[in-house]
Amino acid sequence: MPRGKFVNHKGRNRHFTNPEELEEQRRQEEKKQQWRKNKGQESSSEEEDDEETKTSGANRSKSSTTDSNSESESESETEGGKAKGVENLIQVENPNRVQKKTKKLSQLNQSLDTAKPELSRREREQLEKQRAYVNYQKLHAAGKTDEARADLARLAIIKQQREEAAKRREEEKKQKEMAQQKKTELTQKALGKKS
């Protein structure tokens, strides 16, 4: 068996308290408390500490619950009654705490009517793009944009080229007709001489 302050308890017999013994100790503790209440004497904190060391673990948990009950009672007394120290002078508010505020129905209706629905960044950008596109189309149709001016200039050049091409074709057509007429006249003369 190893010597020293660390001892392994595995393999040893363990001692468990009997449930009947625990119940008996609890009954005795209740009787002592009732006797103190009847007598009108309250035990000091020193006596309670001594008794806690003598009792078993189950009684300790019971006494700790009674202590926590007495602590919660004292806390509720300080909340409702007199504050300790400078508590009543300093008001501390947690900015992260959300307090629910009740609103009247008329206020809710007014706030819903007056408040515009807030759009997300993407939705706002999309609306701005649509408005800009519509505005651009109006300006383009009126011929006030650079692109529209360039298109109109191109159209004017194309019209001029087409007109020139049409004139050339007309002249060529007239020349062909004249050439055809001369040819037919020549052939007529040549035939007329023979006949």
What integer pLDDT is reported at residue 61 of this predicted model? 46
- pTM value surpassing 0.85: no
**pLDDT digit string (tens) for the chain, length 195 residues:** 456 677 666 766 667 788 899 999 999 999 999 998 998 755 444 455 455 555 544 444 444 444 444 444 444 444 555 667 776 777 777 778 887 888 787 877 777 666 666 788 999 999 999 999 999 999 988 888 888 889 889 999 999 999 999 999 999 999 999 999 999 988 888 887 654
What tokens appear for 118 in the block? 């807030």
Position 78, amino acid: T
112 three-state secondary structure: helix
State the DSSP string of 11-80.
TS------HHHHHHHHHHHHHHHHHHHHHTPPPPHHHHHHHHHHS-HHHHHHHHHHHHHHHHHHHHHHHH
What integer pLDDT is reported at residue 56 of this predicted model? 45
What integer pLDDT is reported at residue 80 of this predicted model? 52
